[in-house]
Amino acid sequence: GENVEQHPSTLSVQEGDSAVIKCTYSDSASNYFPWYKQELGKGPQLIIDIRSNVGEKKDQRIAVTLNKTAKHFSLHITETQPEDSAVYFCAANGGTYKYIFGTGTRLKVLA
């Protein structure tokens, strides 16, 4: 089955700097890679996703890159703001509906 590893587990950046979170997956059948943001006491919320036929996707300050050969994908947040502080999760679908999530990254944006 699919296995997803996520690094780092915690990340602190100064406001205005960039943040990068990396994930690797094991199942080459995975074709959908979402990123979720979870604020304290709430359920996760999708912030960006990418499909296997695309190498990069951008939405304002957020971008995701996918390297299928190396089986890794990354989340990039530019010009970080205090409201970006949260826990971020990556996931892969193993080509099915059995989504496997990474263990999460706690991002702290320091003012």
Strand-pair partners of 11: 107
Q: How many residues does the chain have?
A: 111
Looking at 31, 65, 74, 78, which residue binds other proteins (CB under 8 A)? Answer: 31
Distance separating alpha carbons of residues 65 and 103, to the nearest angstrom: 19
Q: How far is CA 97 from CA 27, 31, 71, 84, 100, in A?
A: 13, 11, 19, 28, 9
Does 107 interact with other proteins (rule: CB under 8 A)?
no
- Given the complex with other proteins, which of 97 and 111 has the nearer CB atom? 97
Cβ contacts of 85 within 8 Å, gap of 6 or more:
107, 108, 109
Locate 84 and state its tokens: 């970006």
Q: Least Å distance between CB 107 and other proteins?
A: 15
Please select the residue that binds other proteins; options are 19, 102, 107, 109, rule is CB under 8 A. 102
| Pattern 54-73, other proteins, x by CB under 8 A | --------------------
Among 13, 22, 49, 68, binds other proteins (CB under 8 A): 49
Does 44 help bind other proteins (rule: CB under 8 A)? Answer: yes
CB nearer other proteins, residue 81 or residue 96? 96
Binding footprint of other proteins, residue count (CB under 8 A): 26
Contacts of 46 (CB under 8 A, 6+ apart): 34, 35, 36
